[in-house]
Amino acid sequence: MKHNMRSPKKIILVMVLLLGLFWFWYEKHYLEQEIPIYSLKCSHIEYREVIRWFLLKRKRKNDIPSGIFDGPWSSKEFSLSSDKNKLEEIGALTLATKDTFKFSSRLHPEKEIYINRQNLKLKPENEIQYTYSCEIRNPGEFWQYVEQKLDIEKSRLKI
């Protein structure tokens, strides 16, 4: 009986090719995806009624945040058709120490956003000192806030 040796070689070649494609996708796409870590509910230190929410995301391959996000209303392209899932990245991580996260501002690249990791104080890009006191919340609470505020901001555009 005559064996066809090309068939097992083709199977091995296809398997190696599929494994290579999977590895490429895994390294270049999957590990680079940003996923939510937690949200921050921040109250102004002097004016407690001023509250801001932020979402911190990390790349799957890292344990520290890669960016800090605000709602769609922060975008220059905000309109009545803006989607709640289109968050605005307001800062990209440039430094992480045991005490501080430092983000470079997307809107004003010369300015920075700081989060003190020890006491959860936040210093926005235009402030000289830490002006917000934050507490860690789960991402679901951030998304509820985004839905509520998006309705308010869109209603303001209608007027």
What's residue 32's pLDDT? 84
* Residues 55/68, Cβ–Cβ less than 8 Å: yes
Residue 31 — pLDDT band, cuts 50, 70, 90? confident
pLDDT in tens, 61-102: 988 999 999 887 777 777 676 767 788 889 999 999 999 999
Residue 153 — pLDDT band, cuts 50, 70, 90? confident
Tokens of 122: 């936040």
Number of CB atoms found within 10 A of residue 125's CB: 18
Q: Are strands 67-70 and 34-44 parallel, antiparallel or unpaired?
A: unpaired
Taking the C-alpha atoms of residue 159 and residue 157, their distance in angstroms, rounded to an integer, is: 6
Residue 125 — pLDDT band, cuts 50, 70, 90? confident
Domain positions in the chain: 1-30, 34-158
* Residues 77/90, Cβ–Cβ less than 8 Å: no
Number of CB atoms found within 10 A of residue 75's CB: 15
Mean pLDDT of 9-17: 89
Taking the C-alpha atoms of residue 101 and residue 96, their distance in angstroms, rounded to an integer, is: 5
Q: Are strands 132-137 and 67-70 parallel, antiparallel or unpaired?
A: unpaired
Q: Tell me the pTM.
A: 0.77
